[in-house]
Amino acid sequence: MAEIHRTTMTPTKLELLESWLPTRPWYRGGAESVPRLAKAGGFRLDDPEGEVGIEFMVVADSSGDEVHAYLVPMTYRAAPLEGAERALIGTSEHGVLGTRWLYDGAHDPVLVGRLTALLEGRAEPQAQSASDTPDPTVEARSDGPGTWDAAGAAVVEDGAYGTDLRLGAGVPVLRLARVLDPKATGSRGHVITGWHLPDGEELRGAYVLAFDPAA
């Protein structure tokens, strides 16, 4: 089980995301915008090897006329991930663990592997801010056993509405729903849980959607 340390990160995750989010094709504010971010929800998954931190983090951006909630799956590593330079969100000094490399988790095979394990029922979602605490609010469903047998290295495609993970021939496409929408649904499975907006409104919907490859 991952241990959650009560300590500082410099710069903070939100500070790193303020500069990273406007570079994403799914960001609604535009490349010249300056996000105004607040933590809005999420959950964690454990790495069985105990080496990589895995967090599905939601941030709410209230910089524009409309508040948008963005899903940012992140991994935290003690050393750079080889070949993942374009996925690097930034580095931060952790008060206990030292320098951490923060990556967009869509490009990290450890996160992708644990996400497919979650959909298969082989991984248990964990509370975002507490050690050794399962999160029962997270609902993961796939359409049957063996669906994710080909999962592993993913072809990552960023678009205007999310990030698609293509895992292999005949395997459903996983879409990270970057701009969260309570109405979004997937035909082959999903990961659903909640988030909140700065005004206190509580919402629930899909963080991850599964579709047929041809959909």
User: What integer pLDDT is reported at residue 9 of this predicted model?
Assistant: 81
Structural domain includes residue 145: yes
90 domain-assigned: yes
For 17: left if phi > 0, alpha if psi spans -120 to 50, otherwise beta; the answer is alpha
What is d(CA 154, CA 110) in angstroms, rounded to the nearest whole number?
A: 11
- Reported as a single tens digit per residue, the pLDDT across 79-114 is 999 999 999 999 999 877 779 999 999 999 999 999
Residue 125 is assigned to a structural domain of this protein: yes
Tell me the mean pLDDT in the region 165-188. 91
Per the structure, how many domains does the chain have? Answer: 1
Q: Average pLDDT of the chain?
A: 91
Residue 203 lies in a domain: yes
**What tens digit of pLDDT does each residue of 110-141 get?**
999 999 999 999 999 999 988 889 999 999 99
Domain encompassing residue 125: 9-211
Tens of pLDDT, residues 66-82: 999 999 999 999 999 99
Let me know if residue 95 belongs to a domain. Answer: yes
Q: Is residue 16 part of a domain?
A: yes
